[in-house]
Amino acid sequence: MDVNEVPQEGNRTLGSHRKALYAKDADGKMVIVPSRGSEVDETVTMQAVERMHAQAEEARSRALAGQTSPLEYWMYARRMDVALLSQVTGIWQWRIRRQFDPQRFERLAESQLSRYAEALGLTSDQLRALP
């Protein structure tokens, strides 16, 4: 890549930041060039962000319909999945899935609830409700 080929079309996922890319300058030397980002990066980042957002919104509608607990919504809202939430909390995956059941979730002991809340960066009260 040459210096003048470094993408500068802007990538909204970068916010006001820039990222450093390496490219060849006029003397043939590889140098660091700050980039405003490219459409390619933006496409794949937004794809991942939107996928997780869609999962969260889908869980929210199911929670509102009484088919799942707010825990599932918050898990996706915090960009996790069951496997990751299990690693972070040390709670078995099958138990997490069981606790998506709204009635089971209601009865959850405070100690268990606070483990989830801590891992998701929430208070127990926040975790009990949908935002």
Partner 1 sequence: MNSTVISFQHRHTAHCESGVAANLMTHHGVALSEAMAFGLSSALSFAYLPFIKLTGFPLVAYRMPPSFILKGIAKPLKMRFHFETFRDPGAGTRRLDELLAQGQVVGLQTSVFWLPYFPEDMRFHFNAHNLLVYGKEGDDYLISDPVIDLPQRCASADLQRSRFAKGVLAPKGLLYYPGSIGQTTVTPEAIKKAIKKTVRIMLGPIPIAGVRGMRTLAKRVAKLDTSEYSLNYVGHIVRMQEEIGTGGAGFRFLYAAFLQEAAQITGIGELAKLSERLNEIGDGWREFALKAARMIKGREAFDPVHLAGMIDSQADHETEFFKALKAAIA
Instruction: Find where tokens 């009260």 sit.
Output: 125
**20 vs 1: CA distance, rounded Å:** 13
Which CB sits closer to partner 1, 55 or 102?
55
Q: Does 25 bind partner 1 (CB under 8 A)?
A: no
Tokens of 82: 């069951």
Half-sphere exposure of 33 (CA within 13 A, CB side): 19
Q: Is beta strand 19-24 parallel, antiparallel or unpaired with respect to 30-35?
A: antiparallel
User: Which of 25-33, 65-73, 91-99, 101-109 is the region at the interface with partner 1 (rule: CB under 8 A)?
Assistant: 25-33
Decide: is 119 part of the binding site for partner 1 (CB under 8 A).
yes
The answer to whether 92 contacts partner 1 (rule: CB under 8 A) is no
Binding stretches for partner 1 (CB under 8 A): 1, 12-15, 17-24, 28-32, 34, 38-41, 43-49, 51-52, 78-81, 83-84, 87-90, 119, 121
